[in-house]
């Protein structure tokens, strides 16, 4: 703000870190092209941009992992230059990565003071360590965590707290959080919100990197947008809405993020009749050819368990599954594939792709692994297949680990399309995928449905689920809580998902 | 399937190493002034190359096979006693050896996949079991003798139209290598590679992970039997014939740039690694370095090759062998 009055002096933002004109290239490929960033004490500052926009590189510059080719880093009015991550730490900057850096089999306090253990008479002073950890936890209002607990026994959300406490114990004034909710269950996100706000209130500057617009708008006071390594804008959150942010990120309006519902449902492709197992019970529903049926529910409500049961990883033990009207017993992924079921897992890197293998080998994996003779040997029209899912790669021989999240997900889809399944289950199809690629994936799913595929789509992103689905099934504690028509509102879905009676909310 | 004009990942460095060694040989010894010198090298290297190809299948699918050296010894000793110098016994004994190889591979593979014992331990156990069995059965000194027709495979030559006299072992080597290349390009071979990368992905894609890994162990043991037949003819019968061969084969595979732990590497590179190792030993021999140093050299190579692979990404980036991959946000 240009003018500040004396009366508001106490609220004057204090600049903790200022990045100016940061440029960074890797072997001639510019990744950051003159990025500015100003962080104030006690603010949550969102950093957004598509995959490849340079967010991670900027974080690494801030953390001292990469040295910028040009530009200035100013910490509390002094220009600094970080040779190593340790220098950045010493300047009070800490990064909370998606993957935690905790030793599972040590206690909370031991992790917090790892490498900096207080020493008394030549021995590690456990008591001092635990007292100081306790003090920091109290300061954050996290009294549910004991300093002496082994980290392995903590939930993911609490591990994240420990990670933050570890940074704070090293006197961090700036916390950069990279997709902090990616690993969290839905009900843990609220806890993180609370934590972030308490950190902010205690004067910590938070750089919040996220793909999820809702979090950005819930938490941040200002938003910096990057696109293709360049600084686009930095504006107060209150002055923007989601569409505007997305437009800044993508550089073009995304008027039709979700394709029109054009398909006419055909015959029933898959029908569950009273199906259940240890984790879900008494499921009865159909998915028809040409239909995208959304499956909503909180984490742990059994959404993914349905997918894994249909697909034979943890099969149903009661009830029946009918495929095209024929009762079928699916005993494992191999039978599922052969019966024409495809499953895009939510764990892309752990279950979806062999990361060191090429685009080509991953795309042909299902066909080669599960199909016998004729189908497997059928001349693979790879180019057409990859073209139809829109994979952007250097070539079919590029290893998939070098692709962006969106392109990786397209390869996963391609892998299933290569065997032309009749029923496709997609679990969190756009997780970790940037907005542009999301749009492509949505279009692709709709086209597949139009071609007569029956699609069951699981997602914890309600806007996407509502935007895509022809019908929405809502799970609550392992059972179906109800069904909603296309275009239902988020409140109605949440009401069912959290166990409210439908009538009670509307 | 269309031939690919590109080398598989990691094949380049080992070919360079091999070329340097071959050129070195030409300078070091008069024997290598003519093609026959190299042909002799190829003949000498054949058993190791065949073993390395077998080991490659297991390593690339994420395991180790430490039992191949003992298997070679066991089969040579058994062969000598059963053949007992009689040509009439040659063919059924060869069939029996190959059958035994398959059996050992099945045992290794089944214990690894069904009882979930790490392959390192299973095959180490198999090594000890075979060692003990051979000692018990032979009493420490092998008896019997091979027949002339048996030994032809290891030391004899065949008349190949257009190429003249070609050692049988070189022919076997070429056939094995061609078959291995074909296999690794097939759907099954690619899937085997994916198993070493991430077996979950293959299992969830409907692949039969256990069968594929079993297949790798069977192929390894089967090829070890082939190597045993070649070695028996070439080197003769002794209770030490296979000693240390498992480590030599692993060194060769690693030298070929194949990733320990699986998922990456080409079978041609593994074979080139074996040939390089043999060429190196020949070179050292010509330079008058004691044969006792062989294992020390091998030790250095295996550590250096794995270190190179681990640091390789960084090194390659420095050398600009690979186009840079910008960080993605």
Predicted local confidence at residue A368, as pLDDT: 86
- pLDDT of B146-176, one tens digit each? 888 888 888 888 888 777 788 889 999 999 9
**pLDDT over threshold 70, residue B57:** yes
Question: Which of A49, A365, A370 is nearest residue B194 as measured by Cβ atoms?
Answer: A365
Give the residue from B166, B181, B170 showing the smallest Cα distance to B53. B181
Predicted local confidence at residue A46, as pLDDT: 94
CATH class of residue range B11-282: mainly alpha
Contacts of B199 in chain A (CB under 8 A): none
Contacts of B325 in chain A (CB under 8 A): 26, 402
Give the residue from A102, A211, A198 showing the smallest Cα distance to A152. A102
| 8 Å CB contact between B13 and B257 | yes
Instruction: Check B201 against A356: CB less than 8 A apart.
Output: no
Instruction: Check B206 against A336: CB less than 8 A apart.
Output: yes
Question: How many CB atoms are located within 10 Å of the residue B92 CB?
Answer: 11
Predicted local confidence at residue B220, as pLDDT: 96
Residue with tokens 């990670």: A163
Q: How confident is the model at residue B108 (pLDDT cuts 50, 70, 90)?
A: very high
Give the residue from B79, B63, B188 showing the smallest Cα distance to A377. B188
Q: What is the DSSP letter of A331?
A: -
Question: What is the distance between the alpha carbons of residues B83 and A46, in angstroms, rounded to a whole number?
Answer: 79
Burial group, residue B105, by CB count within 10 angstroms (0-12, 13-18, 19+) = buried
Contacts of B320 (CB under 8 A, 6+ apart): A27
**pLDDT over threshold 50, residue A313:** yes
Question: What is the distance between the alpha carbons of residues B214 and B119, in angstroms, rounded to a whole number?
Answer: 11
Predicted local confidence at residue A253, as pLDDT: 56
**SS3 state at A155:** coil
Instruction: Check A364 against B190: CB less than 8 A apart.
Output: yes
**pLDDT over threshold 80, residue B190:** yes
Task: Search chain A and give the residue with CA nearest B8.
Answer: A397
The residue that leads in pLDDT, B310 or A200, is A200
Question: What is the distance between the alpha carbons of residues A140 and A163, in angstroms, rounded to a whole number?
Answer: 13
What rounded mean pLDDT belongs to chain A? Answer: 85
Q: How confident is the model at residue B4 (pLDDT cuts 50, 70, 90)?
A: very low
- The C-alpha of B268 sits at a distance from chain A's nearest C-alpha, in angstroms, of 17
Predicted local confidence at residue A505, as pLDDT: 40
Instruction: Check A357 against B317: CB less than 8 A apart.
Output: no
Question: What is the distance between the alpha carbons of residues A317 and B223, in angstroms, rounded to a whole number?
Answer: 44
**pLDDT over threshold 60, residue A420:** yes
Question: What is the distance between the alpha carbons of residues B57 and B65, in angstroms, rounded to a whole number?
Answer: 10
**pLDDT over threshold 80, residue B260:** yes
Contacts of B198 in chain A (CB under 8 A): 350, 353-355
Residue B262, phi then psi, degrees to nearest 5:
95, 170
**pLDDT over threshold 80, residue B41:** yes
Q: How confident is the model at residue B1 (pLDDT cuts 50, 70, 90)?
A: very low
Instruction: Check A31 against B325: CB less than 8 A apart.
Output: no
Task: Search chain B and give the residue with CA nearest A56.
Answer: B329
Per DSSP, the residues of A372-425 read -HHHHHS---HHHHHHHHT---S-TTSBGGGS-HHHHHHHHHHHHHTT--SEEE
Question: What is the distance between the alpha carbons of residues B240 and B218, in angstroms, rounded to a whole number?
Answer: 23
Contacts of A451 (CB under 8 A, 6+ apart): none
Predicted local confidence at residue A283, as pLDDT: 92
Q: Which of A182, A354, A418 to mutate: most B Cβ within 10 Å?
A: A354
**pLDDT over threshold 90, residue B50:** yes
CB pairs under 8 A between A and B: 117
SS3 of chain B: CCCCCCCCCCHHHHHHHHHHHHHHHHHHCHHHHCHHHHHHHHHHHHHHHHHHHHHHHHHHCCCCCCCHHHHHHHHHHHHHHHHCCCHHHHHHHHHHHHHHHHHHHHHHHHHHHHCCCCHHHHHHHHHHHHHHHHHHHHCCCCCCCCCHHHHHHHHCEEEECCCEEEEHHHHHHHHHHHHHHHHHHCHHHHHHHHHHHCHHHHHHCCCCHHHHHHHHHHHHHHHHHHHHHHHHHHHCCCCCCCCCHHHHHHHHHHHCCCCCCCCCCCHHHHHHHHHHHHHHHHHHHHCCCCHHHHHHHHHHHHHHHHHHHHHHHHHHHHHCCCCCCCCCC
The residue that leads in pLDDT, B136 or A255, is B136
**pLDDT over threshold 80, residue A7:** no
Contacts of B91 (CB under 8 A, 6+ apart): none
Instruction: Check A357 against B263: CB less than 8 A apart.
Output: yes
Q: How confident is the model at residue B111 (pLDDT cuts 50, 70, 90)?
A: very high
- pLDDT of B284-303, one tens digit each? 888 887 777 887 888 888 88
Predicted local confidence at residue B3, as pLDDT: 39
Structure tokens at B308: 């190179």
Instruction: Check A51 against B320: CB less than 8 A apart.
Output: no
Q: Which of A369, A370, A425 to mutate: most B Cβ within 10 Å?
A: A369
Structure tokens at A454: 């029956």
Structure tokens at A273: 């009749």
Question: Which of B190, B201, B317 is nearest residue A353 as measured by Cβ atoms?
Answer: B201
Question: What is the distance between the alpha carbons of residues B200 and A402, in angstroms, rounded to a whole number?
Answer: 20
Q: What is the DSSP letter of A50?
A: -
The percent of residues in chain B predicted with pLDDT above 90, rounded, is: 43
Burial group, residue A122, by CB count within 10 angstroms (0-12, 13-18, 19+) = exposed
Give the residue from A101, A55, A52, A96 showing the smallest Cα distance to A408. A52
Q: How confident is the model at residue B224 (pLDDT cuts 50, 70, 90)?
A: very high
| 8 Å CB contact between A370 and B205 | yes
- pLDDT of A130-147, one tens digit each? 999 999 898 888 888 899
Kindly provide the b/e burial profile for residues A414-442, where b requires at least 16 CB atoms within 10 angstroms of the residue's own CB: bbbbbbebbbbbbbbbbbbbbbbbbbbbb
Contacts of A259 (CB under 8 A, 6+ apart): A442, A443, A446, A447
Q: Where are the domains of chain B?
A: 11-282, 293-329
**pLDDT over threshold 50, residue B327:** no
Structure tokens at B258: 């194949």
Question: What is the distance between the alpha carbons of residues B237 and B256, in angstroms, rounded to a whole number?
Answer: 30
The residue that leads in pLDDT, A376 or A363, is A363
Contacts of B264 in chain A (CB under 8 A): 356
The percent of residues in chain A predicted with pLDDT above 90, rounded, is: 27
- The C-alpha of A28 sits at a distance from chain B's nearest C-alpha, in angstroms, of 9
Predicted local confidence at residue A78, as pLDDT: 87
Contacts of A210 in chain B (CB under 8 A): none
Torsion angle of alpha carbons A145, A148, A151, A152, nearest 10°?
-110
Residue with tokens 């058993």: B47
Predicted local confidence at residue A375, as pLDDT: 55
Helix axis angle, B168-185 to B187-197, nearest 10°: 70
**pLDDT over threshold 80, residue A9:** no
**pLDDT over threshold 50, residue A359:** yes
Instruction: Check A351 against B200: CB less than 8 A apart.
Output: yes
Instruction: Check A51 against B329: CB less than 8 A apart.
Output: yes
- pLDDT of B191-221, one tens digit each? 999 999 999 999 998 889 999 999 999 999 9
Structure tokens at A466: 């509502």
Question: What is the distance between the alpha carbons of residues A343 and A470, in angstroms, rounded to a whole number?
Answer: 19
What rounded mean pLDDT belongs to chain B? Answer: 85
Q: How confident is the model at residue A380 (pLDDT cuts 50, 70, 90)?
A: low
Helix axis angle, A435-450 to A242-250, nearest 10°: 100
Predicted local confidence at residue A395, as pLDDT: 79
Report the sign of the C-alpha dihedral through residues A349, A354, A359, A364, in that order. Answer: negative
Helix axis angle, B168-185 to B35-60, nearest 10°: 40
Give the residue from B36, B12, B78 showing the smallest Cα distance to B265. B12
Structure tokens at A331: 């005993």
Contacts of B200 in chain A (CB under 8 A): 350-351
Residue with tokens 């390869």: A411
Where on the phi/psi map is residue B164: left (φ > 0), alpha (ψ -120 to 50), or beta? Answer: left
In this prediction, residues A279-303 reach a mean pLDDT of 89
Helix axis angle, B245-255 to B294-319, nearest 10°: 20
Q: How confident is the model at residue A306 (pLDDT cuts 50, 70, 90)?
A: very high
Kindly provide the b/e burial profile for residues A213-225, where b requires at least 16 CB atoms within 10 angstroms of the residue's own CB: bebbbbbbbbbbb
Contacts of B262 in chain A (CB under 8 A): none
Q: Which of A330, A350, A357 to mutate: most B Cβ within 10 Å?
A: A357
Contacts of A5 (CB under 8 A, 6+ apart): none
Angle at A197 between CA A192 and CA A202, to 5 degrees: 125
The percent of residues in chain A predicted with pLDDT above 70, rounded, is: 92
Predicted local confidence at residue A4, as pLDDT: 37
Structure tokens at B125: 């156990």
Report the sign of the C-alpha dihedral through residues A200, A202, A203, A205, in that order. Answer: negative
**SS3 state at A166:** helix
Q: What is the DSSP letter of A252?
A: S
**Cα Rg of chain A, angstroms:** 25
Question: Which of A56, A343, A371 is nearest residue B329 as measured by Cβ atoms?
Answer: A56
Instruction: Check B206 against A345: CB less than 8 A apart.
Output: no
Task: Search chain B and give the residue with CA nearest A51.
Answer: B329
- The order of strands in the sheet holding A205-209 is A93-96, A174-178, A205-209, A44-48, A222-227, A230-236
Instruction: Check A368 against B187: CB less than 8 A apart.
Output: yes
| 8 Å CB contact between B79 and B252 | no
Contacts of B202 in chain A (CB under 8 A): 354, 365, 369
Predicted local confidence at residue A291, as pLDDT: 93
Report the sign of the C-alpha dihedral through residues A318, A322, A326, A329, in that order. Answer: negative
**pLDDT over threshold 50, residue A49:** yes
**pLDDT over threshold 50, residue A355:** yes
Is residue B36 within 8 angstroms of chain A, CB to CB?
Answer: no
Structure tokens at A390: 């829109």
Question: Which of B203, B206, B329 is nearest residue A49 as measured by Cβ atoms?
Answer: B329
ipTM of predicted assembly, 2 dp: 0.82
**pLDDT over threshold 70, residue A374:** no
Predicted local confidence at residue A97, as pLDDT: 83
Give the residue from A238, A160, A235 showing the smallest Cα distance to A199. A160
């Amino acid at each position: 703000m240009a003018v500040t009055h004396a009366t508001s002096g106490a609220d004057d933002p204090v600049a903790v870190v200022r990045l100016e004109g940061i440029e960074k290239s890797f072997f001639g490929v510019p990744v950051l092209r003159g990025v500015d960033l100003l962080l104030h004490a006690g603010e949550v500052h969102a950093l957004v941009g598509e995959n490849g926009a340079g967010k991670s590189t900027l974080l690494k510059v801030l953390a001292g992992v990469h040295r910028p080719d040009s530009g200035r880093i100013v910490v509390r009015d002094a220009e600094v230059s970080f040779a190593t991550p340790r220098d950045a730490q010493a300047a009070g900057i800490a990064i909370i990565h998606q993957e935690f850096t905790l030793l599972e089999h040590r206690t909370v306090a031991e992790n917090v003071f790892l490498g900096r253990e207080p020493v008394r008479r030549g021995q590690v002073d456990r008591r001092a360590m635990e007292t100081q950890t306790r003090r920091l936890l109290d300061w954050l209002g996290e009294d549910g965590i004991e300093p002496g607990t082994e980290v392995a026994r903590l939930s993911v959300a609490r591990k994240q707290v420990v990670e933050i406490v570890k940074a704070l114990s090293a006197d961090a004034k700036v916390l950069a959080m990279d997709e902090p909710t990616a690993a969290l269950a839905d009900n843990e996100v609220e806890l993180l919100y609370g934590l972030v706000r308490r950190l902010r209130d205690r004067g910590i500057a938070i750089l919040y990197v996220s793909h999820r617009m809702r979090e950005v708008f819930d938490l941040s006071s200002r938003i910096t947008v990057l696109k293709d390594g360049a600084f686009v804008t930095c504006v107060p959150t209150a002055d923007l809405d989601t569409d505007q942010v997305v437009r800044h990120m993508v550089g073009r309006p995304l008027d039709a993020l979700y394709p029109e519902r054009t398909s006419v449902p055909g015959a029933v492709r898959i029908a569950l009749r009273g199906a259940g197992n240890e984790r879900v019970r008494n499921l009865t529903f159909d998915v028809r050819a040409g239909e995208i049926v959304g499956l909503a529910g909180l984490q742990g409500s059994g959404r993914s368990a349905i997918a894994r049961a249909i697909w034979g990883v943890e099969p149903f033990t009661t009830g029946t599954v009918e495929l095209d009207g024929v009762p079928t017993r699916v005993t494992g992924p191999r039978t599922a594939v052969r019966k024409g079921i495809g499953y895009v897992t939510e764990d892309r890197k752990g279950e979806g792709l062999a990361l060191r293998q090429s685009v080509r080998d991953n795309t042909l994996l299902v066909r080669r692994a599960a199909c016998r003779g004729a189908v497997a040997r059928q001349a693979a029209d790879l180019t057409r297949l990859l073209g139809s899912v829109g994979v952007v790669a250097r070539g079919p021989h590029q290893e998939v680990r070098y692709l962006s999240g969106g392109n990786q997900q397209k390869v996963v889809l391609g892998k299933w399309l290569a065997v032309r399944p009749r029923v496709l289950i997609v679990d969190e199809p756009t997780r970790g995928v940037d907005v542009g690629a999301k749009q492509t994936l949505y279009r692709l799913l709709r086209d597949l449905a139009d071609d007569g595929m029956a699609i069951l789509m699981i997602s914890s992103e309600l806007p996407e689920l509502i935007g895509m689905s022809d019908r929405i099934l809502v799970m609550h504690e392992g059972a179906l809580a109800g069904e909603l028509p296309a275009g239902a509102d988020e409140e109605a879905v949440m009401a069912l998902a959290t166990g409210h009676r439908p009538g009670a909310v509307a | 399937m269309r031939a690919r004009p590109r080398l598989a990942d990691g094949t380049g460095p080992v070919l360079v190493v091999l070329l340097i060694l071959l050129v070195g040989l030409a300078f070091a010894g008069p024997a290598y002034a003519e093609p026959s010198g190299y042909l002799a090298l190829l003949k000498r290297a054949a058993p190791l190359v065949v073993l390395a190809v077998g080991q490659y299948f297991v390593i690339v699918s994420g395991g180790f096979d430490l039992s191949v050296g003992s298997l070679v010894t066991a089969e040579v000793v058994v062969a000598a006693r059963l053949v007992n110098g009689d040509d009439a016994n040659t063919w059924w004994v060869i069939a029996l050896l190959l059958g035994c190889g398959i059996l050992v591979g099945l045992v290794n593979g089944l214990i690894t996949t069904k009882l979930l014992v790490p392959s390192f331990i299973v095959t180490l156990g198999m090594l000890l079991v075979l060692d003990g069995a051979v000692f018990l059965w032979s009493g420490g000194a092998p008896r019997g003798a091979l027949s002339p027709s048996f030994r032809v495979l290891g030391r004899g030559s065949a008349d190949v139209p257009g190429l003249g006299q070609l050692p049988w072992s070189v022919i076997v080597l070429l056939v094995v290598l061609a078959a291995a290349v074909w296999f690794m390009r097939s759907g099954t071979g690619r899937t085997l590679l994916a198993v070493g990368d991430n077996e979950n992905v293959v299992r969830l894609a409907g692949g039969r992970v256990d069968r594929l890994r079993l297949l790798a162990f069977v192929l390894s043991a089967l090829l070890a039997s082939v190597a045993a037949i070649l070695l028996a003819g070439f080197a003769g019968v002794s209770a030490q014939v296979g000693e240390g061969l498992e480590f030599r084969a692993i060194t060769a595979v690693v030298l070929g740039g194949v990733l320990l732990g699986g998922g990456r590497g080409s079978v041609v590179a593994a074979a080139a690694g074996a040939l390089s190792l043999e060429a190196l030993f020949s070179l050292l021999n010509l330079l008058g370095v004691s044969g006792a140093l062989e294992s020390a050299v091998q030790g250095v190579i295996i550590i250096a090759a794995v270190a190179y692979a681990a640091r390789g990404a960084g090194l390659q980036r420095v050398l600009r062998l690979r186009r840079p991959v910008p960080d993605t946000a």
